[in-house]
Amino acid sequence: MAAVLRRGVKLISSGSSQLLSGGCKHGRTSTLCISSSRPSSSKINVELDSSTGIAVMRFQNPLVNSLNLDFLTEICISLEKLELDKSCRGVILTSAQPKIFSAGLDILEMYGKNPEHYAAFWKSVQEIWLKLYGYSKITIAAINGSSPAGGCLIALTADYRIMADNPRYTIGLNETQLGIVAPFWFKDTMLNTVGHRTAELSLQFGLMYTPSDALKINLVDLVVPEEQVLSTATETMTKFLAIPGHAREISKSMMRKPVVDRLLSCRDADIKNFVSFISKDSIQKSLGQYLSMLKQKKS
């Protein structure tokens, strides 16, 4: 941990304004693409192998899979369809974008908007967490790039996390580095994964971890060569599928339901807290300064 603290925090800019960050069949594999209003800009690609029951969901929201309102909605729709599909038994989450799993929540959704927009956006963030953390089917995060903040949260919801062995990739909840506070359900997810003391230091310092350091604190379960991330995720999925489904589902629910219920009991209050916080002049100023910094890097 001391070595990580000395290294400090690595922010993911990627030259962008993001931070937090019915198909056709070919043989045995069916492909489902959930498209935005323009079919040419599909943000989600899902391939379901009906012979194994394993679906691979690829994030492809240019440029860095930033979690904006539309993208979060499309992810939820895709997950709901797969959950209702009896031929699907597990979902691998990965990225189609190079070097990035997800850059996290889109800052533009939290800057210069009205309270109604902030509320709608935060409700969608809640929804993706509730859907993934309480998902009945097996989920594995095949983390083939950096994953700060909200991107890290998506990975944390999975039953198992496999990360590419590239020291340039980092993962962590780094919200404090922008003056933003991770809500209690972000905190609970991190705490349940790495333990109290590590979670406390990680959240206060906004630490970003390399794959090897993430493995040491159990933030990820396995680190493999980048070209083996997806194949290893598939192999790992088969091990999960070997367990009787009903027993595994009940065990998962038993571990996660109290955390899910905590948010469900106060969703409206959590949204109000977020809107109040993000609307503060000091927070808007901090976000504006970060966006200006990114523009300067572009130029």
pLDDT by 10-residue block (mean), the chain, 299 residues:
44 36 36 33 88 97 94 95 96 96 95 96 98 97 98 98 98 92 96 98 98 98 98 98 96 96 97 96 90 82
Residue 120's domain is classified under what CATH number? 3.90.226.10
85 contacts 241 by C-beta, under 8 angstroms: no
Q: What count of other Cβ atoms lies within 10 Å of the Cβ of residue 298?
A: 10
Question: What does the alpha-carbon distance between residue 152 and residue 155 come to, in Å, rounded to a whole number?
Answer: 5
pLDDT at position 124 is: 97
Residue 242 lies in a domain: no
DSSP letter for 106, please.
Answer: B
pTM confidence score: 0.85
Residue 174 lies in a domain: yes
pLDDT at position 150 is: 96
Which structure tokens are listed for 285? 């100023």
Catalytic residue from among 11, 105, 153, 156: 105
Is residue 175 among the annotated active site residues?
Answer: yes
Which among 117, 134, 25 has a CA at the least distance from the CA of 76? 134
Question: What does the alpha-carbon distance between residue 1 and residue 202 come to, in Å, rounded to a whole number?
Answer: 9
Question: What does the alpha-carbon distance between residue 38 and residue 289 come to, in Å, rounded to a whole number?
Answer: 32
pLDDT at position 127 is: 97
Coil, helix or strand at residue 46: strand
State the DSSP string of 111-126: SS--HHHHHHHHHHHH
65 contacts 97 by C-beta, under 8 angstroms: yes
Catalytic residue from among 61, 65, 144, 174: 174
42 contacts 35 by C-beta, under 8 angstroms: yes
Question: What does the alpha-carbon distance between residue 72 and residue 66 come to, in Å, rounded to a whole number?
Answer: 9
Catalytic residue from among 74, 90, 175, 222: 175
Question: What does the alpha-carbon distance between residue 135 and residue 132 come to, in Å, rounded to a whole number?
Answer: 5
Domain assignment of residue 97, given as a range: 2-235+247-298
Is residue 174 among the annotated active site residues?
Answer: yes
Output the CA torsion 210→215→221→222 (10° steps). Answer: 70
In the chain, how many domains are there? 1
pLDDT at position 30 is: 41
Catalytic residue from among 150, 151, 172, 206: 150
Coil, helix or strand at residue 157: coil
Residue 241 lies in a domain: no
Sequence-distant (6+) residues with CB within 8 A of 239 are none
Half-sphere exposure of 195 (CA within 13 A, CB side): 6
Residue 202 lies in a domain: yes
Question: What does the alpha-carbon distance between residue 123 and residue 275 come to, in Å, rounded to a whole number?
Answer: 11
Residue 240 lies in a domain: no
pLDDT at position 298 is: 74
Q: What count of other Cβ atoms lies within 10 Å of the Cβ of residue 191?
A: 18
